[in-house]
A and B are shown apart, each in its own frame.
Chain A
Amino acid sequence: AQSVTQPDIHITVSEGASLELRCNYSYGATPYLFWYVQSPGQGLQLLLKYFSGDTLVQGIKGFEAEFKRSQSSFNLRKPSVHWSDAAEYFCAVGSTSGTYKYIFGTGTRLKVLA
């Protein structure tokens, strides 16, 4: 069965510092991968997605992610974090078992220090 692991529950970075959030997936074929962000009190917003092609994917708000098949990873990066990036980030893999539902990781809560 497909699964997603986000090994970091909490991450704290200073404003202006670079950021990398880790995501590892378990999947038999080429996965459909997503990163979502959840701001406090808000729903989830799609940051970026990977279906195929270029393994470096650009998203909104200056985020990017790189798909590495050899490492089963899809890490999210941002070169310079802004205070408004403080939120919870979810990695998800698209399941193919019967329907197009997502399997989410447990999330990484990002704190940004001024």
Chain B
Amino acid sequence: DSGVTQTPKHLITATGQRVTLRCSPRSGDLSVYWYQQSLDQGLQFLIQYYNGEERAKGNILERFSAQQFPDLHSELNLSSLELGDSALYFCASSVDRAETYNEQFFGPGTRLTVL
């Protein structure tokens, strides 16, 4: 158990819909990272938040957005869903207090299926 929790575990929805994925980082971790894992794209970095503020963007679509709340949990919002958005979405957290790499701890993921 990494200490990172993600809900829901599975999500099935239809094209055009909007969903919200939730992540609670490990206690004390300030950074939250979102990754998308799909069969054709592999594991791709989407976005990072640090202590409530967006720090970096990766291959995140404009239809997707995220935020980190004062209690440091984060939500990833996916809208106007398409079949190709079906994937496993991971959240990871890290301390990131120093200017160096810190281990990222991954949650169990949310499997999104768009029908």
Contact = CB atoms under 8 A, between A and B. Distances in A.
Contact of A98 (B31, B56, B109): B56
B96 A100 contact: yes
Nearest to B94: A100
Contacts of A100: 31, 94, 96, 100-102
A72 B110 CA distance: 34
Contacts of A51: 100-101
Given A45-B2, A51-B101, A104 B43 contact: yes
Q: How large is the interface on A (under 10, 10 to 19, 20 to 34, 35 or more residues)?
A: 20 to 34
Contact of B56 (A36, A41, A99): A99
Nearest to A6: B42
Nearest to B105: A46
B48 interface: yes
A101 B56 contact: yes
Contacts of A105: 42
A104 B4 CA distance: 20
Interface string A75-114: 0000000000000001000100011111111110000000
A85 B55 CA distance: 35
- Counting chain A CB atoms within 10 Å of each CB, the highest count among B43, B48, B107 belongs to B43
Q: How large is the interface on B (under 10, 10 to 19, 20 to 34, 35 or more residues)?
A: 20 to 34
Nearest to A31: B101
Contacts of A49: 101, 103
Contact of A46 (B42, B103, B107): B103
Given A43-B4, A45-B2, A107-B42, A99 B55 contact: yes
Nearest to B31: A100
A44 interface: yes
Contacts of A99: 48, 55-56
Please give me the 10 A-B residue pairs with the lowest Cβ-Cβ distance, nearest first: A99-B56, A43-B106, A104-B43, A44-B106, A32-B101, A106-B42, A43-B108, A94-B101, A101-B45, A99-B55
Interface of A: 32, 36, 41-46, 49, 51, 90, 94, 98-107
